[in-house]
Structure 1
Amino acid sequence: MGYDLRRKRWEKVDVDHIREIAWNGKAFDQLIAEPETKDLIMNVLGSQLSLQTQSGVRDSKYNGFTMLMRGASGTGKTFTAESVAEFFEKPLCTVRCSDVGTTPEDVQKHLEDIFHLAKTWGCIVLLVGAEVFLERRNVNDVAQNARVSAFLRALDDYKGILILESNRLDRLDEAFNSCIQLPLHYEPLTEPNRTYVWHNLLDNIQSLDKQAMDIRDAYGYTDELARLELNGHQMHQVVTTARQLAGLRLEKMTSRHLSLVAKSFQPF
């Protein structure tokens, strides 16, 4: 039996197919952020993981570390967590807060189970949609207050690396001010940012299959694509769908496929 970190459940596995993990230590280089911010993330998390390892030998005195990433969808928050986990060769346990339950009891139990497994296996935990638990409590919403309190109790007991991700967070509950050691804000992508992302996405395709696209034509169209105000998730979907479309037509992916799919995202 093996634990599927994506599905969050135990599965039967074919031991003949077990392989060493091929970590992508260069993924973090593709992250769009100021050099100072990237250095801050790497240095802080690197030191925290080192402390975690040392305290594992010294009576488990490590108190844990929590980072908050907030900003619009498709600005690099999830990729930050994924690339950091790859660089430090740590499994990433991604949990959507909408899946942990609605009652305080379910929330606390679900999170405690996840945190227990993460501590046992040395995972970095990523909570997506964390605004559900981080919003400031108020006297008119008893249910929300109870969920926030349950989350705080589970968080207080967790002694690992936790990354919180929020697309929208207007009012952070004051109780979290002392819990979050590294808050980061992600700005919407600029046109040069989008050009960089398009190049990275095409680089990934080229590394997998050089025959899958017309390289010169596709790369030559990235400046035009970058003018479209798409976020990172949308750009990834454009490339994926364009590649599938070209494959169905038994063609190499070209600017024509990319343009056709990209423009369909514009009304959104």
Structure 2
Amino acid sequence: MHHFPGEKDVLKLTIYPVRFAKDYQGTLEQLRERGRKFQDILSRRHPTLTYQGWSTVRDPLGNLLRDDKGQTLIIPRHIDSEVVVDFREAFQSSPWWKPQYSKPFKNVFSPKACTDRFPIICWADDGRSEPINQHYEIVVQKDDVQCLEYNKFLEGDQFIVDQDERPPGSITDNKKQVLGPDNLALLPSRIFGYALRERAFYNLDIRFMKELPVMDDPLGSLRIEDESKTQIQALIYHHFKKKKAQEVAATKGHELMDQDFIRGKGRGLVILLHGAPGVGKTATAEAVSYSEKKPLFHITCGELGLHHKVVESNLTEVFRLANLWDCILLLDEAEIFLSPREKKDENLQRNTLVSIFLRTLEYYKGILFLTTNRVGALDEAVKSRVHLSLGYPHLAEEETLDLFRMNLRRLARIEDERAEILEEKPMTIETDDIMKFASQHYRSQGQHFRWNGRQIRNAFQIASSLAHYQHKLKPHRLFIGAEHFQEVENATKKFDEFRQQTLGKTDDEIAGAASITRTSPETSFFTICRNVSWAENNSTTTFG
């Protein structure tokens, strides 16, 4: 604090005692609550939370931070993603983020004293006629009391000196380190985490962190066969159980036997999801992540780069982090890594990418979901590495109606929440009319123009927007009905017909020409299992 003349309002000082602050008790309680949140997050192993807010670009002292490339961070980034909290990995990525703490040592008690230059004389009488005695006093120049107090503070504080470094018999010997109210208030406001959507580490503000929402039976909302759900759950359960056993064995100096003869190979679980767009492939991986309470690491091939060296580096790092954090890794639209390798010179780069993917995949120890709509064009080596394959046909009528019912329930909750927050009357949802429209839409439209799951979701969003805008123009019309969905159908049908006229083919015909398999609504799902403990003799089992 710099010197200033005269008096100054204590609240205008750079630093002042908290008791002078307005409502300081409330402020302290907020800081303690923040500290309890910080303590709870760090008490868990690689916790996953949601984050919606800005990253921080300054350290607690106000200095600008640097990113993982050493460049100064000036502009914060807005993040809306799930984040995995991992201080150790963040410090590996950006070592300069790690705070540098000095290790405190006890000071040497060193008081200073000297002899006074002026003697003390004892006179014979009050007239000072004759000196009887004289001596010089010892004057204390420095009592060094602050050193004694500092050493006592070091010995008594539970956190400044680590418990393992304390000598036996010290004041805090055999006492647990417990965070008191004042300690909680002093805990940091920033946390180091990895944003799964941005695929990078950030300095995060703890205020914007929230727990993941809880979903009731996420797998139950999937419109796939119960047998397929059971297969997925069984494989994932066994994978994590085996992984836990391997970790426990490693702590005891043992290594469990693997199905593969080569050490480290074949420990992962690869699930291939194939079918037409919008039939639930991505939703399956999302539902599994919610069901298993594991983070979903969602990437596409384009995010990994184009040059083979960059792809290999990024893919290796993604696989490493996904396995470390027990993520459900989803590689969406993975055609570029799954396509057959050819001998033509112009396909060398693609062949290289497929080879890199297969080699890296062989040593991946986590769970990987692959999605594609080109199942007719798979490399033979990819097929042998897939443990479970699920085909997703076009939606049948009952499945379409189920999706409408599910979206209607969700729309009702959304409208109720919106009305409560804005203190408005909620929209009336004409459920019966909308369900009649859903059935009529499915039966009247050809297979090429029927809505898939993603289009149904989009239709609900558009219909809701149309209804709200209609209410703005005509306040007495406070409902969402079949007429709004009919408007959506008219618009999408015009586009589909124009696209068919322009290309001369339907999407299914184009897909067939490109070796994309799109099954009919009557085609059942199928699964293929490989290298699972309950598949005897490591054989391939097909379930119809």
TM-score (norm 1): 0.92
**1:212-223 mapped onto 2 (5 Å cutoff):** 212-216=427-431, 217-223=433-439
**1:110-125 mapped onto 2 (5 Å cutoff):** 110-125=314-329
In structure 2, the CA distance between the partners of 1:37 and 1:214, relative to structure 1 (3 Å rule), is same
Note the residue ranges of structure 1 that are not aligned, 5 or more in a row: none
CA contact (8 A) 1:68 1:163 kept: yes
Residue 212 of structure 1 deviates from its aligned partner by 3.9
Q: Which amino acid is the alignment partner of residue 237 of structure 1?
A: N
Q: Secondary structure at the match of 2:309?
A: helix
Instruction: Select which of 125, 136, 142 maps to 2:348.
Output: 142
Counterpart CA distance in 2 for 1:12 and 1:265 is 43
CA contact (8 A) 1:192 1:226 kept: no
CA contact (8 A) 2:304 2:311 kept: yes
CA contact (8 A) 2:430 2:479 kept: no
Q: Secondary structure at the match of 2:459?
A: helix
Instruction: Select which of 73, 86, 94 maps to 2:290.
Output: 86
Instruction: Select which of 456, 461, 464 maps to 1:243.
Output: 464
In structure 2, the CA distance between the partners of 1:178 and 1:236, relative to structure 1 (3 Å rule), is same
Q: Secondary structure at the match of 1:177?
A: helix
Q: Which amino acid is the alignment partner of residue 358 of structure 2?
A: L
Larger Rg, first or second structure (1 or 2): 2
CA contact (8 A) 2:222 2:280 kept: yes
In structure 2, the CA distance between the partners of 1:159 and 1:17, relative to structure 1 (3 Å rule), is same
Instruction: Select which of 237, 243, 261 maps to 1:52.
Output: 243
Instruction: Select which of 371, 379, 386 maps to 1:173.
Output: 379
Q: Which has the higher contact order (CA 8 A, sep 6+)?
A: 1
In structure 2, the CA distance between the partners of 1:54 and 1:226, relative to structure 1 (3 Å rule), is farther
**1:15-30 mapped onto 2 (5 Å cutoff):** 15-30=206-221
CA contact (8 A) 1:202 1:219 kept: no
Residue 12 of structure 1 deviates from its aligned partner by 4.3
Equivalent in the alignment of 2:180: none
Deviations 1:187-208 (A, max 9, x none): 1111221111111111111123
Note the residue ranges of structure 2 that are not aligned, 5 or more in a row: 1-191, 259-266, 417-425, 472-477, 497-544
Q: Secondary structure at the match of 1:209?
A: helix
Q: Which amino acid is the alignment partner of residue 150 of structure 1?
A: I
**1:1-268 mapped onto 2 (5 Å cutoff):** 1-59=192-250, 63-140=267-344, 141-210=347-416, 211-216=426-431, 217-227=433-443, 228=445, 229-250=450-471, 251-266=478-493, 267-268=495-496
Greater helix fraction, Structure 1 or Structure 2: 1
- 184-193 vs 202-211, which moves further: 202-211
Between the two proteins, what is the percent identity of the paired residues? 30
| Length, aligned pairs only | 268
In structure 2, the CA distance between the partners of 1:31 and 1:143, relative to structure 1 (3 Å rule), is same
In structure 2, the CA distance between the partners of 1:153 and 1:246, relative to structure 1 (3 Å rule), is same
Q: Secondary structure at the match of 2:278?
A: coil
TM-score (norm 2): 0.47
